[in-house]
Chains A and B, each alone.
Chain A
Amino acid sequence: MRALQSHVTTIGTLVAGIVLVGIVPFAVAPFTLADLTLYAAMAILAMSLGFIWGFGGILSFGQSVFFGVGGYTYAIVALNFDSPSLALLAAIAVAVTGALLLGYFIFWGRLSDVYLAVITLTISLIFFMLINSMSSSIYRIGDVPIGGYNGIPGIPPLVVPGTDRSLSVAETYVLVVTVALLVYLGLSWLIRTKFGRILCSIKENEVRAELLGYDARLYKLAAFAVGAAIAGMAGALFAVYSGLINPDVFGIGFSAQIIVWVMLGGLGTLIGPALGAVLIQMLVVWLGKVQVIDANMALGVLFIVAVLLVPAGLVPRLQGLLAIAFGNLARSRP
C-alpha cells in the first residue's frame, strides 16, 4: 500500500510537472505567469509549514520569519555581492541557522502547543517592529540600507549560472514551479524514511517515542530546520519574483495566512497546504481587485468557518469522500 502511494505521488507529480512546466508557459500570458510564480512560491512556503506542523506536530506561528529572513538575506547578499546564486544559498543558510538557534530554546525548553505558538508569534513581531523602525539610512548591511517600512527595492533577478543573463519571466516561472514540485517530492520521500516515521511517532506520542530511545528534541529540531530551509528558499524566490521585500512579510496578517493555507488545505498532507495557498492567494488577489469587502475581514470569517466546519481541511475531506465512493464501487463489483 505504501509503495503504491509512493508511485501515485511520483506519477502525479510527473504529470503535474509536464503540464505546469511543459504546457502552461506557452499557453498563458506573461502577466499570468508572474501570478503563477507567486502562487508557486507561496505553495513552497505552505508545504514547509505543512511538514513541520502536520508531520512534526510543531505549530509555528513564525514560519513567515524564515520566509522573511530568506527574502531579506537574498536581497542583501545579491545587492552587495552581485551574485544571485550565492544569495540563494545564503538565504537558506541564514534561515537554517536562525531555526537551529530558536529551535534550541523551544525544544530544549520543551515548550509545546500554546507556548510554542506564542513564542514563535513573538519572534515574528520582534522582527516586524525592529525592521520597521530601521528606516534611517544609518541602518545598512554593506551597501544596502534596510529601509525600514519601505523595505529593500531593486532586488536583482536570478541569472543563468556562469553567465550574466537574467532569467526571463517564463524561465523564473519554470524554475519556481520546478522547485515547488521537487520540494513536494523531497518532503514526501522524507516522510517515508525512518526519520519521517520517527518524527510522526513523536507527534503522536512524545513520551512513548522517548521511552523507545529516540531523542524527541533532536528530531523536532531537525524537522524545524528543514522547514526553515524550505521557507527561507521560498522567501528568496519571492524576493526574486517581486523585486522588493518589506517588513509586511513579518506581519501578523501574513503569518495568519500561512496557517489558514495549511488548515484549510488539510493538516497532515503536503498537497493540501500547497493547494490551500494557491486557492487563498487567488482569493486575496480577487478580493483586492473587486474591493467589495476588506480582505482581512473576509480572511477572518474564512478562518473561523474553516475551524468550525472543516476542521480536517479540504484535501482529507475529499480523500474521505473518494475513499467512500471507491469503496462502494469496489463492493458493488461481483
Chain B
Amino acid sequence: MLHDMNGLLMDLLAITLLEIFYGIASLALISLGLAIIFGMLRVINFAHGEFLMIGGFSFIMLTTAGVNMWIAMLIGAPLIVGLLGIVVERVVIRNLYGRIVETILATWGLSLFLMGAASLLFGYFQRGVSPPFGTLKIGNYQEGVYSIFVIVLAAAVYLSTYLVLRYTKLGLIARATMQNPEMASSLGVAREKVYAVTFFCGAALTGLAGAVLAPIAGVVPTSGLAYIARSFITVITGGATVIAGTGIASVLFGTVSQLTAILTRPVWGEAILLLTAVVLLRFLPAGITGRYFRNGL
C-alpha cells in the first residue's frame, strides 16, 4: 500500500517535472529569435508573434503539400521566415536603427499588417498537424513524446547558438559589430551585411519555434498574440545578454507559470508570469543580466 502511494507520488512528480521542463523549453524557443534581434541589434521586433505564426503556417502548408514533416519543420519554415526577416530588415528596420521607439511603432504596424494578411489568406479556422511519436505513459498519466522532443530540441538550439556565437568567425564578427559598429566597420566589416544576416538568423530561429510548436498549439492568424507577451517579457527580463539572460529568464518564468497553471488554471499561469516580471523589473530595471553575468553571452 505504502509502496503504491510512493509509486503514485513518483509518477506525479515525474509528470510535473516533465511539464515544467516543457514550459521552460517552449518559452526558451519562442524567445531566442527575439533575444538575438534585441540583444545584437537593439531592435524590438513587435512583429515577433506574427513571425512565429508565419513559421507555424509555413510548416503546416508545406506538410499538407506533401513535403516531409522534418524538412518542413527544421528547414522550410525557418528559411521562409528568415527570408521574410531579410525583406523586413531591408525595407523597414534599416531606416530606423538607433531609434527604438520608431522601431517599435513600425514593427507593430507590420504585426497588424501580417495578421490582417494571414486572415485574408488562411481564414480564421484553426489549422494543425497532429504531433508525431504518440504518447508516453507514466503510471496513470500520459504525455506526448513530442514534448520530450521539444525539450531536447530547445537544448540543442541553445547549445548551437552559443557555439556559433562563441567559437565561429561569424559569431566573432557579429559580436564585434554589436559592441562597436564604427570600429568593426573601419576594420573592414560590412556592417549592413552583418545586420541583415543577424536579422535573418533571429527570424529563422523564430520560424523554427513557430513550426515546432504548431503541432501542439495549432495555428490561427492571431496566434502571435498568444506568444508575444510571454516572449517579450522573457527577453526584457533576461536583459541584453542573448543566451544567458533569455535562458535564465525562461527557466524562472517557465517554472513559475507552469506550476501556477498546474495548481490553478492556465490563464492564471500566464498572469502570474507577467506579474512576476513587473515586480522583478522594479528591482532589476536592466534585466537579470543587467546586474549579473554582464560579460556573458
Is B232 a contact of A304 with CB atoms below 8 Å?
no
A304 touches B285 (CB 8 A): no
Chain B window 242-255, contacts with chain A (Cβ cutoff 8 Å), 1 for yes, 0 for no: 00000000000000
Contact B115 A296 (CB under 8 A): yes
Chain B residues 103-149 with CB under 8 Å of chain A are 104-106, 108-117, 119-120
Say whether B209 faces chain A, with CB atoms less than 8 Å apart. no
| Given A105-B278, A263-B105, A308-B92, A300 and B112 contact (CB-CB distance below 8 Å) | yes
Task: Verify A303–B106 contact, CB threshold 8 A.
Answer: yes
Given contacts A109-B283, A114-B44, contact A300 B271 (CB under 8 A): no
The 0/1 profile, CB within 8 Å of B marked 1, for residues 172-183 of chain A is 000000000000
Any chain B CB within 8 A of the CB of A15? no
Closest CB pairs A-B (n = 6) = A303-B109, A297-B116, A300-B113, A300-B112, A296-B116, A294-B116
Asked if B225 lies at the interface with its beta carbon under 8 angstroms from chain A, I say yes
Residues of A within 8 A of B (CB-CB), count? 42
How would you classify the secondary structure of chain B's contact residues: helix, strand, loop or mixed?
Answer: helix
Q: Which residues of chain A come closer than 8 Å to B104, judged between CB atoms?
A: 114, 117
Known A113-B101, A122-B278, A296-B116; judge A304-B233 contact (CB<8 A).
no
Least Cβ distance of B93 to chain A in Å? 11
User: Is B92 within 8 A of A304, CB to CB?
Assistant: yes
Say if the beta carbon of A125 comes within 8 Å of chain B. yes
> Does any Cβ of B come within 8 Å of A129's Cβ?
yes
- A125 and B229 form a contact (CB under 8 A): yes
Instruction: Output the least CB separation between A202 and chain B (Å).
Output: 17
Indicate if B274 sits at the interface (CB-CB under 8 A). yes
Given A109-B283, A117-B101, A119-B278, 18 more contacts at CB 8 Å? Answer: A59-B101, A105-B278, A109-B282, A113-B101, A118-B233, A122-B278, A126-B270, A126-B275, A129-B267, A130-B267, A130-B271, A133-B265, A256-B109, A259-B105, A263-B105, A294-B117, A302-B109, A307-B96
Are A296's CB and B113's CB within 8 A?
yes
Of the residues B92, B102, B115, B225, contact of A311 by C-beta under 8 Å: B102
Decide if B281 is an interface residue (CB 8 Å cutoff).
yes
In the complex, what residues of A have CB within 8 A of residue B265's CB? 133
Select from chain A the residue with minimum beta-carbon distance to B49: A252
What size tier do the contact residues of chain B reach?
35 or more
Interfacial chain A residues near B92, Cβ < 8 Å: 304, 308
Contact A300 B274 (CB under 8 A): no
Distance from A147 Cβ to chain B, minimum over Cβ atoms (Å): 16
Nearest residue in A to B95 (C-beta to C-beta)? A308
Pair A123/B278 contact, Cβ less than 8 Å = yes
Could you list 14 A-B pairs, sorted by A, with CB under 8 Å?
Answer: A105-B282, A114-B104, A117-B101, A122-B233, A126-B229, A126-B270, A126-B271, A256-B112, A259-B105, A297-B120, A299-B112, A302-B109, A307-B102, A308-B96
Are A253 and B112 in contact, with the CB atoms below 8 A?
A: yes
B283 and A297 form a contact (CB under 8 A): no
**Which residues in window 267-297 of B have CB below 8 A to A?**
267, 270-271, 274-275, 277-279, 281-283, 285
The answer to whether B116 touches A304 (Cβ under 8 A) is no
Q: CB-CB < 8 A to B163: which residues of A?
A: none
* A49-80 interface (Cβ within 8 A of B): 59
Query: A303–B108 contact, CB under 8 A?
Result: yes
Q: Which of A123, A125, A302 has the most CB of B within 10 A?
A: A125
Interface of chain A, helix or strand or loop or mixed? Answer: helix
Within 8 A of B (CB), among A210-267: 252-253, 256, 259-260, 263
Q: Verify A252–B116 contact, CB threshold 8 A.
A: no
Instruction: Give chain A's interface residues, CB within 8 Å of chain B.
Output: 59, 105, 108-111, 113-115, 117-119, 121-123, 125-126, 129-130, 133, 252-253, 256, 259-260, 263, 293-304, 306-308, 311
A297 and B110 CA atoms in complex are apart in Å by 9
**Interface status of B216 (Cβ within 8 A of chain A):** no
B-chain residues with CB within 8 Å of residue A122 when the two chains form the complex: 229, 232-233, 274, 277-278
Determine the distance from Cα of A256 to Cα of B119 in the docked complex, in whole angstroms.
18
Chain A residue at minimum C-beta to C-beta distance from B105: A307
Other-chain residue from A115, A252, A259, A298 in contact with B225 (beta carbon distance below 8 A): A252
* Chain A nearest CB, measured from B141 CB (Å): 25
Give the distance to chain A from B27, nearest Cβ to Cβ, in Å.
15
B50, closest chain A residue (CB): A300
Please, how many angstroms separate the alpha-carbon atoms of A191 and B94 in the complex? 35
> Is A294 touching B277 in the complex (CB atoms < 8 A)?
no
Q: Which residues of B contact A108 (CB under 8 A)?
A: 282
CB-CB under 8 A from A117, the residues of chain B are 44, 101, 104
- Interchain CB contact under 8 A, A307 and B109: yes
CB–CB B100/A113 < 8 A: yes
For B271, the chain A residues whose CB sits under 8 A away are: 126, 129-130
Q: How far is the CA of A122 from the CA of B273 in the complex (A)?
A: 10
Count chain A CB atoms within 10 A of each CB in B96, B101, B108 and give the residue with the most. B108
Query: Separation in Å of the B89 CB from the closest CB of chain A?
Result: 14
Residue of A nearest to B280 (CB): A109
B236 CB within 8 Å of chain A: yes
* B116 contacts A300, C-beta separation under 8 Å: yes
CB nearest neighbor in A for B279 = A105
Are B109 and A299 interface neighbours, CB within 8 A?
yes
* Complex contacts, B110 vs chain A, CB 8 Å: 300, 303-304
Cα(A161)–Cα(B21), bound, Å? 59
Q: Say whether B108 contacts A294, CB under 8 Å.
A: no
| A249: min CB distance to chain B, Å | 15
Which A residue's beta carbon lies closest to that of B265? A133
> How far apart sit A302 and B116, CA to CA, in the bound complex (Å)?
13
Residues of A near B116 (CB, < 8 A) are 293-298, 300
- When chains A and B are docked, how far (Å) is the Cα of A59 from the Cα of B236? 16
Assuming A304-B106, A311-B102, is B113 touching A119 (CB within 8 A)? no
A129/B270 in contact, CB under 8 A: yes
**Within the assembled complex, what's the spacing in Å between the Cα atoms of A303 and B104?**
11
